[in-house]
Chain A
């Protein structure tokens, strides 16, 4: 079972909000109403504790009821049959909690003042009560906006994990409205506090205490700023995440270029992400054919090449190197009559795809010529002359071929261009007994007899010219080589 901290997150949000709200109320009681902490202990602390516990439990209960399915889904306990329903529930949740909180605050506020009237036999006037109630509601709205913003931030990763393809028919909402609402409710808090202070003063026919008025305004100001900062940070984060998502696509491989970014709530940002994904999809379709063609070409080319490892009597043949999709490198292992066989390896230097065209032709032509019994050097010469006029200026064929005759223990070798052939002899301490060095313009050829323990390598030399200059992109590609080992017996 995976861990899903969803419900713990909601609880943390409610606790944070309730602590902030209580602190603000305490501060106001101390400054605005000139109460001492001892006075507060009489009723306020107890009542607030009870109300807070009730509030948090109810909010968490609502969250549990509404998010139960989502929570289970992310714990991996259920496979949710209708992801659409899941999505819609997540979409609606912050707004539901916003309104629940407002309603709950109104009820709790009435309960608080009602109980106060009952137990403390208070002498508060209706005016006082109304003022308190309004002020509390304004505070509740501000805190509800904060809850809304925090819930959105907390739920966004879950929504994105559901990998929605679009926000669909979900009711559009605005990411901006909370900002406006926050301003309005904060304004009401501040102005109500000032007005109530004035009314208090007028009723008690006191002098106005500017210091206490200023301090309450400062507390309100800082509180409002904190809530707004939270909201605007959430908004910024959302935009930044989106930009980061897009950047990560462009730094990835070609397949990733058409990836989608994750969609959160169905607001302006959601629409933006949706529009982006739609464009991505269109672009992907546009290039699908090309990708398909490349993949197919790569598979055809792989098909032209023989198995990498094989045995002819006491000879063990092994080809290595990465033959990448549609490019100019190849190796070949050709069984011939009377137990003879040929090995070859080469590269057509040039851009990958045109090189691949020449490569496939060179491969089959060499096979054909060798099978016809042509000598290694002649076969190379013929191939080069066949292609000499057909190749564009900057393309060249480089290759080496070896024809082995196990019955005679002889080998004919020929190489041209950046392909070298080397025979190392075990009995001579691994020294090279014969080699055709790479880098020759003309076809070199020769022959020698082989001994047990000899090892022959035909390889595209690493010293081949700067591939990048020839548009040969994959410098990191391992060079192709074919080795033939004569068993020691």
Chain B
């Protein structure tokens, strides 16, 4: 059911119920406290009370309807943000409006009644009796107005909560202090006045009857208890709603993490404060995340394209950092018509700190590769520079390969990087090197080795993220799994096809970073795989 309709139905019930209750209470007061006879009551008073009540509540009904126009419109057609704001303002103001309107109605009725009785009908003169009546009417009116305020608030708050606003839209905050104090004061005033009046009335009629006094006491006590109970439960509900709202925050995605404001008093202000804090947190980290994404963009630009074809060699690469940015690197660099260099590396650590070093290593590699020399010499020079820069606090594993397109040869130097594999027809070979990672000893000398890469064979380079990748049951894939996956690659595949095949076999992390993190919750290492295949036919090299 439409929440607006639900609220409206409750409000109608409230007004009707209150009207009936008031009819009973007012006539009962006249009969039992004021000591009027029923004959006297049915002469004028009953009809006046009936008409007056009907008028006041009809007025409340019309007023409520008018005030809730925007709310109705909002729930009927799901209006935009402006409609939402208007609806919330109307809802937050409704309790005070209804309460004040009711009080005004009571005062007006009281005035009309006594004006008629004194001036028009001349039933009694303006005297103490009239003043007594006016006083109790006002005190009771005030109590009921505050009661109405509290109940309307309770009825309106589910709708306000559905509107889901983070703040009060700049409305002036109120305090629960005044309604509470007003309720308490008017309740006590009613109690005091009823007691004193019934004594006065009783003494005027030849003796106060103790039973009627006790009945009055009991009635006012129960009524007061009822009002207090209602107010307290309203406050407890508000606080409880806040508590539950806080507990529910965790289930919401970051941009919708807030507690709806349902009132203008301290509880509403608390919700506002919590929401402001959530926003602040979100903003603060959105900035960082945004920066990380930009950094990711820079890092992507730094890496070469995923596919290359240079002479008789075809290259396919795939890299995905565990976070936005990472410490894995690969590079493909044409040095001359005949030569090109490749690099694969892994900076110790993860995330931004590794990325800072990764970009430095990439740049240094390019500059050193252009300077020439063998793969080992490049590595030695790179190591010296990196060692001075990193000062032993981080290290980098790196593999550099120098390819000769014409001769079809490959010389490879390893700086502590994982052993490359060669997939030959029907078998795989690992090429083991024993060498130190870069950044440990500045004077370390690296040397290269020739790796035979026959036509149709493929060199496989990878980083430790590939073998340390966890599967669903939380165990590492390991070298055996990599080797069996490599062995299972069907012969005759191009590097791109092989890469696709291996990514499936090795459960390469999903490209969507966020989705991956939410799915597994495991923070994997950066994942990089690079395949370099020598074309089948010798002729391709000369082409």
Complex Cα gap A390–B359 (Å): 11
Does A184 count as interface, using CB distance less than 8 angstroms? yes
| Stretch with Cβ within 8 A of A (4 or more), from B87-95, B186-194, B430-438, B495-503 | B186-194
Against B, the Cβ 8 Å flags (1 = close, 0 = not) of A349-380 are: 01111101110111111011101100000000
Specify which chain B residues have a CB less than 8 angstroms from the CB of A207 in the assembled complex.
203
Whether A271 lies near B243 (C-beta < 8 A) is yes
B172 at the interface (CB under 8 A from A): no
Complex Cα distance, B273 from A361, in Å, reads 43
Contact check: which of B236, B276, B360 meets A250 at CB < 8 Å?
B276
Confirm or deny: B390 has a beta carbon within 8 angstroms of a beta carbon on chain A: yes
Closest residue of B by beta carbon distance from A227:
B184
Q: How far is the CA of A201 from the CA of B434 in the complex (A)?
A: 113
Q: Is B78 an interface residue (CB 8 A)?
A: no
A200 to B450, CA, bound (A): 120
CA of A220 to CA of B355, assembled, Å: 76
**A202 to B202, alpha carbons, bound, how many Å?**
13
Contacting residue for A360 out of B249, B301, B357, CB 8 A = B357
A290 touches B285 (CB 8 A): yes
Given B192, B217, B247, B364, which contacts A279 in the complex, CB threshold below 8 Å?
B247
Measured in the bound complex, the distance between the Cα atoms of B203 and A207 in whole Å is: 8
Decide: A250 and B288 in contact? CB cutoff 8 A: no
Q: Is the CB of B359 within 8 A of A358?
A: yes
Write the chain A residue with the least CB distance to B192. A217
Q: Which of A244, A354, A360 has the most CB of B within 10 A?
A: A354
Interface 9-mer from A234-242, A439-447, A453-461: A234-242
Interface status of A296 (Cβ within 8 A of chain B):
yes
B270 touches A243 (CB 8 A): yes
In the complex the two chains form, is B371's CB within 8 Å of A372's CB? Answer: yes
A residues within 8 A CB of B203?
207-208
| A198 touching B208, Cβ below 8 Å | yes
| B444 on the A face (CB < 8 A) | no
Q: Which of B232, B246, B267, B364 contacts A239 (CB 8 A)?
A: B267
Interface bits A129-160 vs B (CB < 8 Å: 1, else 0) = 00000000000000000000000000000000
> By the criterion CB–CB under 8 Å, are B269 and A243 in contact?
yes
Contacts of A210 in B (CB 8 A): 196, 199-200
A301 interface contact, C-beta 8 A: yes
Within 8 A of B (CB), among A229-277: 229, 232-233, 235-236, 239-240, 242-244, 246-247, 249-250, 254, 257-258, 268-269, 271-272, 275-276
Q: Which chain A residues lie closer than 8 Å to B394 at the CB level? A: 300, 303
Answer whether residue B323 sits at the interface, using C-beta atoms and an 8 A cutoff.
yes
Establish whether residues B195 and A217, one from each chain, have CB atoms under 8 Å apart when the complex forms: yes
Is B176 part of the contact surface with A, judged by Cβ < 8 Å? yes
Q: What are the residues of chain B within 8 A of A257 when measuring CB–CB?
A: 277, 280-281, 284
For residue B349, CB closer than 8 A to chain A, the reply is yes
Contact B235 A176 (CB under 8 A): yes
Least Cβ–Cβ distance between B385 and chain A, in angstroms? 5
Contact B273 A247 (CB under 8 A): yes
Is B298 part of the binding interface, using a Cβ–Cβ cutoff of 8 Å? Answer: yes
A300 touches B187 (CB 8 A): no
Q: Is A62 an interface residue (CB 8 A)?
A: no
Q: Are B323 and A194 in contact (CB under 8 A)?
A: no
Q: Are A386 and B366 in contact (CB under 8 A)?
A: yes
Q: Inside 8 A of B246's CB, which chain A residues have their CB?
A: 272, 275-276, 278-279
Q: Does B520 contact A (CB under 8 A)?
A: no
A90 on interface, CB distance cutoff 8 Å: no
Which B residues lie within 8 Å of A389 (CB)?
A: 301
Interface size band for B? 35 or more
Q: Is the CB of A297 within 8 A of B208?
A: no
Interface 9-residue window, one of A185-193, A403-411, A412-420: A185-193
Main secondary structure of the interface of B (DSSP, over half): helix
* Contact for B208 among A187, A208, A356, A391, CB less than 8 A: A208
* B284 partner, pick from A229, A254, A278, A371, beta carbons under 8 A: A254
Which residues of B have CB within 8 Å of A183?
Answer: 184, 187, 224-225, 228
A228: which of B181, B224, B297, B368 is its contact (CB, 8 Å)? B181
Query: Residues of A contacting B349 with CB < 8 Å?
Result: 296, 300
B478 contacts chain A at the CB level, 8 A cutoff = no
Q: Assess whether A12 is interfacial by the CB under 8 Å rule.
A: no
B301-A214 in contact (CB<8A): no
Does B213 sit within 8 A of A, measured CB to CB?
yes
Asked if B38 is an interface residue, CB under 8 A from chain A, the answer is: no
Q: Indicate if the CB atoms of A283 and B371 lie closer than 8 Å.
A: no
Kindly state the separation between the CA atoms of A301 and B295 in the bound complex, as whole angstroms.
15
Q: Mark A286-313, 1 if CB is under 8 A from B, else 0.
A: 0101100110110111011000000000
Residues of B contacting A249 with CB < 8 Å?
A: 277
Give the docked Cα–Cα distance between A282 and B371 (Å).
52
- Contact check, A354 vs B367: say whether CB atoms are below 8 A apart: no
- Please give me the residue from chain A that is nearest to B285 by CB atom: A287
Nearest-neighbor residue (CB-CB) of A282 within chain B? B250
Contact of A191 among B195, B244, B250, B277 (CB under 8 A): B195
Interface size on A, residues (CB 8 A): 92
Among candidates B192, B273, B391, residue contacting A243 with C-beta atoms closer than 8 Å: B273
> Hey, which chain B residues are within 8 Å of A283, CB to CB?
281
Are B191 and A187 touching (Cβ within 8 A)? yes
Q: Assess the B196–A217 pair: CB atoms within 8 A.
A: yes
Residue of A nearest to B247 (CB): A275
Asked whether B351 is an interface residue with its Cβ less than 8 Å from the other chain, the reply is yes
Chain B residues with CB under 8 Å of A56's CB are: none
- Whether a CB of chain A sits under 8 angstroms from the CB of B419 is no
Expressed in whole angstroms, the Cα–Cα distance for A218 and B284 within the complex equals 57
The one of A229, A244, A369 that contacts B367, using a Cβ cutoff of 8 Å: A369
Are B291 and A353 neighbours in the complex by a CB distance under 8 Å?
yes
B30 interface residue, CB < 8 Å from A? no
Residue B306 CB within 8 A of the other chain:
no
* Nearest opposing residue in chain B for A244, CB measure: B273
B352 interface contact, C-beta 8 A: yes
Residues of chain A within 8 A of B244, CB atoms compared: 275
Contact of B360 among A246, A247, A363 (CB under 8 A): A363
The answer for the CA separation of A37 and B200 in the assembled complex, in Å, is: 28
Asked if B393 CB lies within 8 Å of chain A CBs, one says: yes
CB of A392 within 8 Å of the partner chain: yes
Residues of A within 8 Å of B192, CB to CB, are: 190, 217-218, 220-221
B243 touches A275 (CB 8 A): yes
In the assembled complex, the CB of B525 is this many whole angstroms from the nearest CB of chain A, namely 14
Q: Report if A353-B267 is in contact (Cβ < 8 Å); known contacts: A183-B225, A221-B192, A294-B352.
A: no
Q: Give the residues in chain B near A362, CB-CB below 8 Å.
A: 363
Give the docked Cα–Cα distance between A297 and B394 (Å): 12
Q: Contact at A391–B199, with CB atoms within 8 Å?
A: no
A110 at the interface (CB under 8 A from B): no
Q: A232-B181, A233-B177, A247-B273 are in contact. Are A194 and B199 (CB under 8 A)?
A: yes
| 0/1 interface trace, chain B 389-422, chain A, CB 8 Å (1 if under) | 1110110000000000000000000000000000
A464 on interface, CB distance cutoff 8 Å: no
Q: Which residues of A contact B267 (CB under 8 A)?
A: 239
Is A326 an interface residue when CB atoms closer than 8 A count as contact?
yes
Residue contact A356 to B371, C-beta cutoff 8 Å: no
Q: Are B364 and A368 in contact (CB under 8 A)?
A: yes
- Cβ-based interface call for A213 (8 A): yes
Could you show 6 A-B contacts with beta carbons less than 8 Å apart? A257-B280, A279-B249, A297-B351, A297-B352, A365-B360, A368-B385
A-B pairs with lowest CB-CB distance, top 6? A297-B352, A239-B266, A275-B246, A246-B273, A361-B363, A296-B353
Q: A221-B189, A350-B294, A352-B291 are in contact. List 14 more A-B contacts (CB 8 A).
A: A180-B228, A183-B228, A190-B191, A190-B195, A208-B208, A243-B269, A250-B273, A250-B279, A294-B352, A361-B360, A365-B363, A365-B364, A372-B371, A473-B287
Q: Which residues in B have some Cβ–Cβ distance to A below 8 Å?
A: 175-177, 180-181, 184-185, 187-189, 191-192, 195-196, 199-200, 203, 208, 210, 213, 217, 220-221, 224-225, 228-229, 232, 235-236, 239-240, 242-244, 246-247, 249-250, 266-267, 269-270, 272-274, 276-277, 279-281, 284-285, 287-292, 294-295, 297-299, 301-302, 323, 325, 349-353, 355-357, 359-360, 362-364, 366-368, 371, 385-386, 389-391, 393-394, 523
